Amino acid sequence: MLSRFLRSSLKTRVRPTSFFRSSHIISVHRDTDVNNPNIPFEFNAENLKLAESIISKYPPQYKKSAVMPLLDLGQRQLGFTSISVMNYVAKMLDMPPMRVYEVATFYTMYQRKPVGKFHIQVCTTTPCQLCNSDSIMETIMHELNLQPGETTPDGIFSLEEVECLGACVNGPMIQVNDDYFEDLTSEKVVEVLQGLKEGKDVHVGTATRETCEPIKGPKTLLTDKAIDLSKFTREDL
């Protein structure tokens, strides 16, 4: 009787708590027309010089430590971290390819399928969720007619749900490529998306606050003059 009650209770309470997650969760590579080992990749002249500079920062016997910045460099050049990028980095660092695959599949910043020109990452971890990040996600989905994990047909926008991006004090927030947009409302998100569509400069950072001051404004250190610390310190120490 008790077990039936518990099962019945759980059925009524269980509900989806997150949206579908995107490309970083792919744990098995499948060759596609745009991502297979037969597609050649190598750094261009500028990035090759930069890669050599990155590797030089590590002792020769530890050059494998450069795997993460080199994968990032490859992603910035190609637009995503393809299997060819991984194999190229493995060869450059004298690493077994599997070791590079392990890194690329562990860290969510490596996109292992093509993404849009503007890759939108929506944080839905607890602090942002408490600040209504779900409405931010739903607004973006509605405005772009996108589901998380998808890219618009024109290749301009892609959408992904992610875990904490480290700006909890300014939630809800999104990351677009390398830029953070914080303290968002549904209206502010629409403004950002419209600006990106039109190729305009959009306001980066917090939408409503000065850096990360309290939501209702600062309550301390309100004086214009610096505090005279001599009143609070001992000269004999």
Evaluate whether residue 146 is within a structural domain: yes
pTM above 0.85, yes or no: no
- Domain limits for position 190: 118-206
Predicted local confidence at residue 157, as pLDDT: 97
Evaluate whether residue 140 is within a structural domain: yes
Six-digit token string for 219:
């309550």
Predicted local confidence at residue 26, as pLDDT: 58
Q: Are residues 133 and 189 in the same domain?
A: yes
Predicted local confidence at residue 208, as pLDDT: 76
- Binding residues, as ranges, are 123, 128, 164, 168
Q: What is the CATH number of the domain that holds 148?
A: 3.40.30.10
DSSP H or E segment with residue 232: none
Count of all residues that appear for the chain in the document: 237
Evaluate whether residue 196 is within a structural domain: yes
Q: Are residues 122 and 101 in the same domain?
A: no
Evaluate whether residue 2 is within a structural domain: no
Last residue of a domain, one of 55, 79, 106: 106
Q: Are residues 99 and 128 in the same domain?
A: no
Cite the DSSP H helix spans in 113-212. 126-130, 133-144, 186-197
Evaluate whether residue 50 is within a structural domain: yes
Q: What is the CATH number of the domain that holds 83?
A: 1.10.10
- Binding residues for [2Fe-2S] cluster, as ranges, are 123, 128, 164, 168
Predicted local confidence at residue 13, as pLDDT: 43
pLDDT digits (tens, 9 = 90+) for 93-122: 999 999 999 999 999 899 999 999 999 999
Evaluate whether residue 231 is within a structural domain: no
Evaluate whether residue 17 is within a structural domain: no
Q: Are residues 93 and 155 in the same domain?
A: no
Strand-strand pairing, 118-123 and 174-176 = antiparallel
Q: How many domains would you assign to the chain?
A: 2
Predicted local confidence at residue 221, as pLDDT: 65
What span, in angstroms and rounded, lies between the C-alpha atoms of 87 and 90? 5
Q: Calculate the CA 167 to chain-centre distance.
A: 11
Over the chain (237 residues), what is each successive 10-residue block's mean pLDDT?
Answer: 54 48 62 94 98 95 96 97 98 97 92 95 95 96 95 96 91 94 95 95 83 71 70 76
